Amino acid sequence: MLRWPRLGLSLGLAFLLTSCDDLFQYNPNEETLLDRDKDLTAKNIARISQLPVSDTTRFILMGDTQRWYDECEDFVRSANQQKNISFVLHAGDISDFGLTQEFKWVNEIMTRLKYPYVTVIGNHDIVANGSATYRKMFGPLNYAFSFGRDRFIFVNTNSREYAFDGSVPDIAWLKAQLADNPGHQNTIVVGHVPPFDADFDKNLEKPYTDALASDPTVKFSLYGHQHRFYEGQFYDDGVNYHLTTSMGARGYMVVSTWEGGYHVERVNF
Amino acid sequence: MKKYFLSLLLLLSLHGMAQEVGLRPRRAWYLPDHLKLQFAGNIGFLSGGPGYVSRNKTLETDLLFGFLPQKYGGDALVTTTLKTTYSPWRIGLRDSYYIRPFSIGAYLSYTFGPQFDTKWPSYYPSGYYWWATAIRPGAYIGGKAGRNVVLNNRRRSFELYYELGTYDLLIISYVQNKSFLKLPDIVSLSLGVKFGFD
């Protein structure tokens, strides 16, 4: 008779330990991830590559989920109502404090999307152990992939986090990626901090924008960071810069691309 | 002079007698009143260190040195923590067992590492980030159970405690996202033992 409560206790303890992986926490900056939370960029690109390609590719650009979880849940509900979306691009500032816990919470919400999502790193994601966690959870800070007629280049543009040491954004890497386009696909460069922002290295602004402008396959480039919708051809060089707003401002963009053209639509939720 | 000397001697001998009957502790004032070893609680995988207790035994202040091995944390982190715990009620049980059913406390932790700041470098405008990444204030509630024992003719105590705690960055996340976040999402458990030199 005595065994039953003991069995119950050990079962209860086992349940607590397995069902709740966050029951014990060792440090706010710990980088503990389950396998299902690792290498999300590669996993989601693999999902995207399985999607059917049509004449027009439609995707969502959203960003700055930092400490706006309730709003991000509303975004997911709104995004899931959209038609013919292939995937979602997160323009960075996934987390606010660079904590692994925050990355996990945002991923938990974003996995409720009907679509795969990929991310670019934001300045808040680099704070403390943030960039180390980003590497483990998502993948490289600079990467590229192709889908249909489009080639997406994700580049870390958060120069201030590196004390404007000239290493970020990595212009040489960006140029190599732009050059590696034998199929002449539309190239869409995605970053967090736009080149005209004070957090972008002033010494790299011209090399960066020139690199985009000198590539005829680059028609537009996508960003977040300023928590507002903003767009324009700021350098009079044929490249349009589009900024999506934050989750706190309850907005995102639907981008459609086709051969020789694209369209950007703002959505408020 | 002789008179003073005599009274001093008398005082010293009284002091010695008091020790023998166990009325006053023999230890010097600066020696810690207890040692603690704690598992989890956002101040290390394991943390331990000395502490002091108020005369009425309700208020404990500890200085803990914590370590998180890379194996359990993804990154090896060293943390020092100053924590204060208030446990107002004591319920005595048989065989010198007792429980302190409720504790409330707060801590300030400092995690070492070049990636953590107490003051943001000058290449950030002032107030760019409002929090320090190296220092974390946190708070917790809990309880403990213990037993008074005599070891080698000295009074000692053993206590087991648990704490449910959180910290500033999680609290502000919770307050602003009460739909997505529930209290258990920001609270974690820690367990510890205390060895007291009463």
Query: What's the rounded Cα separation, in Å, for the pair A192 and A178?
Result: 18
Cis peptide before B50 (omega within 30 of 0): no
Torsion sign across C-alpha atoms B34, B35, B40, B42: positive
Contact partners, residue A24, CB within 8 Å, separation at least 6: B39, B40, B188, B189, B190
Average pLDDT over residues A7-35: 73
Q: Which residues pair with A243 in a beta bridge?
A: A223, A230
Cis peptide before A169 (omega within 30 of 0): yes
Looking at the complex, does the CB of residue A167 fall below 8 Å from at least one CB of chain B? no
Mean pLDDT taken over chain A: 94
pTM: 0.90
pLDDT of the residue at A19: 45
Average pLDDT over residues A155-166: 98
On the question of pLDDT at B25 being above 60, the answer is: no
Token pair listed for B81: 């923590």
Looking at the complex, does the CB of residue A128 fall below 8 Å from at least one CB of chain B? yes
- The one-letter amino acid code at A195 reads P
Query: What's the rounded Cα separation, in Å, for the pair A231 and A133?
Result: 31
Query: What's the rounded Cα separation, in Å, for the pair A95 and A130?
Result: 8
At A260, the pLDDT band (50, 70, 90 cuts) reads confident
At A1, the pLDDT band (50, 70, 90 cuts) reads very low
pLDDT of the residue at A22: 83
Torsion sign across C-alpha atoms A75, A126, B140, A32: positive
A250 interaction partners in chain B (CB closer than 8 Å): none
What confidence tens digit (pLDDT) does each residue in A84-106 have?
999 999 999 999 999 999 999 99
Can you tell me which residue has the tokens 């509303």? A74
Looking at the complex, does the CB of residue A105 fall below 8 Å from at least one CB of chain B? yes
Contacting A residues, span 7-36, partner chain B, CB-CB under 8 Å: 20, 22-33
What confidence tens digit (pLDDT) does each residue in B106-147 have?
999 999 999 999 999 999 999 999 999 999 999 999 999 999
- The one-letter amino acid code at A215 reads D
pLDDT of the residue at B16: 41
Nearest CB partner across the interface for A163, out of B74, B79, B123? B123
SS3 state at B114: coil
Cα separations in angstroms, B191 against A11, A24, A151, B37, B120: 19, 9, 51, 9, 33
Nearest CA in chain A to B44: A26
Query: What's the rounded Cα separation, in Å, for the pair A210 and A80?
Result: 37
On the question of pLDDT at B41 being above 70, the answer is: yes
B172 interaction partners in chain A (CB closer than 8 Å): 67
pLDDT of the residue at A49: 97
Q: Do B179 and A163 touch (CB under 8 A)?
A: no
